[in-house]
Amino acid sequence: MDFKTAVANEILSALKAAFGEVEIAPADIAAALEIPPDTALGDYAFPCFKLSKALRKSPMMIADALAAGIHADFVGRVESVKGYLNFFIDRAIYAEKVLSLARAQGERYGADDSGAGKTVVLDYSSINIAKRFHIGHLSTTMIGNSLYRLHRFFGWRAVGVNHLGDWGTQFGKMIAAYKRWGDHDTVAAGGVDEMVKLYVRFNDEAKENPALNDEGRAWFKKIEDGDPEALEIFNWFKSVTLKDAERVYDMLGVTFDSYAGESFYNDKMQPIIDSLRDKGLLKEDQGAQIVDLADYGMPPALILRSDGATLYMTRDLAAAKYRKDTYDFDKSLYVVAYQQDLHFRQLFKVLELMGYEWSKACEHVAFGMVSFEGEALSTRQGHVVYLDELLTQAVEKARAIIDEKSPDLENKDEVARQVGIGAVVFFDLYNNRIKDIDFSWDRALNFDGETGPYVQYTHARACSVLRKAAGAEKAEPDFAALADPFSQDVVRLIEQFPDILKSAVNRSEPSMVTRFAVDLAQAFNKFYYENKVMVDEPGTRAARLLLTDVVRQTLKVALYLIGVEAPERM
């Protein structure tokens, strides 16, 4: 039983004792409990205003009656103030309850089985074939990865889908360019960069020689018709791109269960188009087939171009249906940049108009733009920051800092990797996802700021304290030693961890976990500065060591849930 529930149960029995049977569930009481901004007002406050109507009594009277009826020993004191019932928890018992629960549940602390039997499909990263993986795809990759881990933590079955951008006329052009100027070994060695070069050259030369475009179209037609040579080259481009991308995914520790991208739906769109037609949703507009969404204040959804070609939307409709049929999801998340907001509103609306109840279970998890050291990313002006280069640089910079700060560390390369990459990921997930991010080396790698390295360093410090204490005699913790405000701040954060994780899942907002990790690290460092852990008094020492261990465990889990590793030595 968690602490909040214990308080809620006390309120419920006091309510029954004072007013007889009341129509309120313990969970509703727990949900109504507030945490006062100032601990001088108590650790919890229960507002009695809602009950006032049902009980036909003033909130002040209810709060007075409840205050008189609460005697549990973990409640140090209660006060009735202006319709609020303020709880002051006995600090020693509070620390004991919170830390013992966290300790007993270990790395499952904060989790529950609320997702058992449920499935979530997550569409994230979803990179484009024959394009370099640049930092514009970092947020989708890391938010998706974190949501994947968070859902699994709560018992969901999670299906991670990389909806590859592997369809479009550009691939016809790329093949045409490859046939004219390319050769196998150069592309095999140069990877995506070589493909991009070919494509750029094709577009340049096509300006002088427009006949090239016909060649490109002809090759695209061949891909569509399943011509073996065209398919072979195209699939090879795809595998070269994925090989490059996989290196980045390995560095980031990100995985997928499916790489079914746009081309996967080539043979799955006809039933959708038929069904749209049968349901009278398809309309002709200047030769194209559309779904009119004017009634919903949106431009029409384009289903077929006038030449009969399918579109991004057509493929997403087929993908949504396929995911429902294949995985029978309870929730389907699309972690895609805010710029595609309209696309997803249209998509979900068309699904709804098709009569699919489950369109309600689809959600666009939008996020803001990333710039780099103040410069917007633009392929045209050449300010492109490639993710593998960024990560490699981060690792090098972390390595330099480690060489300076901890010259004697054993596995410096491994730790530099964990810290460098962790810094980038942490920075990316630090703000509310809808906010734009400006990536900065100084701010990402600062060991004293609100950064990944700072949290990792705090975790390593806790590990080091525990290592040094390993030989000390064991004793029963004296929880009264944790009554000081610094210890209590740590305990309070530990207690809030489960709720924070739940909100992070419900709002698809990993930044709540990132922020929490910083808050906990800061509170622990204050505690550590103010309180000596290895004191002589065994009860006090045991209590402080227990707190340190729970902080270590909680930071490790929090970091894992946002996709950041937690080295034990730094």
**364 is known as an active-site residue:** no
Starting at the earlier edge strand, list the strands of the sheet with 288-291. Answer: 282-285, 288-291, 301-304
Report how far apart, in Å, the C-alpha atoms of 243 and of each of 175, 177, 516 are.
19, 21, 35
Choices 121-129, 147-155, 452-460, 533-541; region in contact with ligand ARG by CB under 6 A: 121-129
How near is the Cβ of 174 to ligand ARG at its closest, in Å?
A: 16
Instruction: Choose between 105 and 266: whose C-beta lies nearer to ligand ARG.
Output: 266
Given the residues 131, 321, 331, 556, the one annotated as active site: 131
Hunting for tokens 């960069």 — which residue is that? 193
How near is the Cβ of 87 to ligand ARG at its closest, in Å?
A: 47
- Helices 412-428 & 228-252, crossing angle to 10 degrees? 100
How near is the Cβ of 259 to ligand ARG at its closest, in Å?
A: 12
Instruction: Choose between 336 and 513: whose C-beta lies nearer to ligand ARG.
Output: 336
Q: Which one among 100, 119, 128, 522 touches ligand ARG, defined by CB under 6 A?
A: 128
Which residues inside 320-359 make contact with ligand ARG, applying CB under 6 A?
A: 334, 336
Binding mask 153-182 for ligand ARG (x = CB under 6 A): ----------x-x-----------------
For the CA atoms of 369, 374, 380, 385, the dihedral, rounded to the nearest 10 degrees, stands at -80
CB 195 within 8 A of CB 187: yes
Task: Report H helices in 446-484.
Answer: 452-469
Q: Please tell me the distance from the alpha carbon of residue 279 to that of residue 111, in angstroms, as a whole number.
A: 44
Q: Please tell me the distance from the alpha carbon of residue 327 to that of residue 193, in angstroms, as a whole number.
A: 36
Which residues inside 416-445 make contact with ligand ARG, applying CB under 6 A?
A: none
How near is the Cβ of 200 to ligand ARG at its closest, in Å?
A: 19
Beta bridge partners of 77: 88
Count Cβ atoms below 10 Å from residue 264 Cβ, excluding itself.
19
**H/E stretch holding 301:** strand 301-304
Q: And the tokens for 138?
A: 């970092």
HSE (side-chain half, CA atoms, 13 Å) at 146: 34
Instruction: Choose between 103 and 343: whose C-beta lies nearer to ligand ARG.
Output: 343
Choices 122-130, 388-396, 493-501, 522-530; region in contact with ligand ARG by CB under 6 A: 122-130
Residue 43 sits in the site that holds ligand ARG (CB under 6 A) = no
Given the residues 4, 97, 134, 173, the one annotated as active site: 134
Q: Please tell me the distance from the alpha carbon of residue 393 to that of residue 325, in angstroms, as a whole number.
A: 43
For the chain, give percent helix, strand, coil, nearest 5. Answer: 60, 10, 30
Residue 310 sits in the site that holds ligand ARG (CB under 6 A) = no
How near is the Cβ of 108 to ligand ARG at its closest, in Å?
A: 32
How near is the Cβ of 264 to ligand ARG at its closest, in Å?
A: 11
Instruction: Choose between 261 and 452: whose C-beta lies nearer to ligand ARG.
Output: 261
Instruction: Choose between 334 and 427: whose C-beta lies nearer to ligand ARG.
Output: 334
How near is the Cβ of 268 to ligand ARG at its closest, in Å?
A: 14
CB 517 within 8 A of CB 455: yes
Would you say how long the chain is, in residues?
570
Instruction: Choose between 195 and 557: whose C-beta lies nearer to ligand ARG.
Output: 195
Which residues inside 488-507 make contact with ligand ARG, applying CB under 6 A?
A: none
Q: And the tokens for 196?
A: 């991009």
Q: Please tell me the distance from the alpha carbon of residue 4 to that of residue 6, in angstroms, as a whole number.
A: 5
Choices 123-131, 194-202, 359-367, 543-551; region in contact with ligand ARG by CB under 6 A: 123-131
How near is the Cβ of 137 to ligand ARG at its closest, in Å?
A: 7
What is the total count of residues that contact ligand ARG (CB under 6 A)? 9
Look at the alpha carbons of 50, 52, 55, 61 in this order and tell me if their dihedral is positive or negative: positive
**137 is known as an active-site residue:** yes
User: Which among 434, 474, 443, 455 is positioned nearest to 561, based on CA atoms?
Assistant: 455
Residue 316 sits in the site that holds ligand ARG (CB under 6 A) = yes
For residue 202, how far is the Cα from the chain centroid? 39
Q: Which one among 96, 123, 428, 509 touches ligand ARG, defined by CB under 6 A?
A: 123
Please compute Rg for the chain using Cα positions.
29
Given the residues 137, 151, 331, 556, the one annotated as active site: 137
Instruction: Choose between 323 and 544: whose C-beta lies nearer to ligand ARG.
Output: 323
How near is the Cβ of 262 to ligand ARG at its closest, in Å?
A: 8
Q: And the tokens for 538?
A: 């065994």
Instruction: Choose between 273 and 475: whose C-beta lies nearer to ligand ARG.
Output: 273
Q: Please tell me the distance from the alpha carbon of residue 65 to that of residue 56, in angstroms, as a whole number.
A: 14
Instruction: Choose between 265 and 524: whose C-beta lies nearer to ligand ARG.
Output: 265
Q: Which one among 80, 86, 126, 458 touches ligand ARG, defined by CB under 6 A?
A: 126
- For the annotated catalytic residues, the residue numbers are 131, 134, 137
Binding residues (CB under 6 A) for ligand ARG: these are: 123, 126, 128, 163, 165, 316, 319, 334, 336
